[in-house]
Amino acid sequence: MLGLDVGGTGMKGAIFDHGMRSLDTVRRDTPRADGPPAVLDAMADTLLALDRMAARRGLSVHHAGVVVPGIVDEDRQRAVWSANIGWRDLPLAALMEARTGLRVTLGHDVRAGGVAEGALGAARAAANVLFVAIGTGIAAALVCDGKAIRSGGYAGELGHIAVESGGVSCACGNSGCLETVASATAVATAYTVRTGRTVTGAAEVAALTAQGDPVARAVWKRAADGLADALTIATSLLAPELIVLGGGLAEADRLLLDPVRTGLEERLTFQRRPAIVRARLGDQAGCIGAGLAAWQAAGHIAATRRTGASTP
């Protein structure tokens, strides 16, 4: 099986065997600045590259799982909308099948990541989990008993909760959204705006924060406070027992988790207090979730576990 996770910045693809072991991987940039047609071309090219890699191993690909950001209607297999990529109401699974000749199942990147963390990662022991991916954008997945809540594809848009009155305009059309404060892009942009110094990304701001840079610390605190505000709302509504933070910003580990834990604790009163942990699968969660979706769609999970087959 193939898994492809399409993010606002990069794509991560892999060939998986029946045990969800990655046999080979590929990473490419997402050409979102060139518009949706260029992104579609890159997606198809990446799937075909993975298919060729599998063939060189003497393996036949049965199915491909593709997960993307934004609003995804899994029932209709359509990408309804994405603020970061710009497409609207695309029959994305059908388009990828036509371009690659592969059977394709479309899913949502963060819901897929949440299912992967529940099946193989940090949330294996929890029944009610909020998985939050903090990257180019921010989204969440509520996973109950191993199943992600979809609500027609609209569930989980945590990044578009307004946390800053009169804040920066968001690609969604609102202003002050969590994405404009706490996404990896927002963190890097805020530091550059305040200092005039261009940074390579949020990881550099995290490193400067750890070194005591006052501007970096202010930017980082703003992001952590915004996350705590949004997670307070989510906790009040959903009462998760566990919150799993993933995506690029969570790679900072305790530098992010500690102030978010403290901020959430200060904001909650009567609500159940969830544990907050870092995602175990790192930035591979979405790709692994795509692979899981492909196995499930192809109906091979139960069969391969019984027979021990290793065909991807």
Tens of pLDDT, residue by residue over 135-155, are 888 999 998 876 789 998 899
CB 168 within 8 A of CB 180: yes
Query: So what's the pLDDT on residue 300?
Result: 52
Tell me the pLDDT band of 312, cut-offs 50, 70 and 90: low
DSSP single-letter state for residue 190: H
Query: So what's the pLDDT on residue 174?
Result: 95
Which helix (H) or strand (E) segment holds residue 139: the answer is: strand 138-144
Mean pLDDT of 115-144: 92
Per-residue exposure over 21-34, b if at least 16 CB sit within 10 Å of its own CB, e if not: eeebeeebebbbee
Q: How far apart are CA 312 and CA 214, in angstroms?
A: 50
Q: Quick one: how many helices (H) and strands (E) in the chain?
A: 10, 13
Token readout for 183 is 């996404």
Let me know the angle formed at the C-alpha of 304 by 74 and 56, rounded to the nearest 5 degrees.
85
DSSP single-letter state for residue 251: G
Which helix (H) or strand (E) segment holds residue 295: the answer is: helix 285-298
Mean pLDDT of 6-19: 92
- Residue 304 confidence (pLDDT) above 50: no
Nearest residue to 101 (alpha-carbon basis) of 153, 34, 55, 37: 55
Q: How far apart are CA 267 and CA 236, in angstroms?
A: 10
Nearest residue to 298 (alpha-carbon basis) of 2, 4, 96, 50: 2
Sign of CA dihedral 178, 282, 245, 1: positive
Query: So what's the pLDDT on residue 310?
Result: 41
Nearest residue to 244 (alpha-carbon basis) of 94, 83, 124, 99: 124
Nearest residue to 275 (alpha-carbon basis) of 285, 261, 263: 261
Report the length, in residues, of the chain. Answer: 312
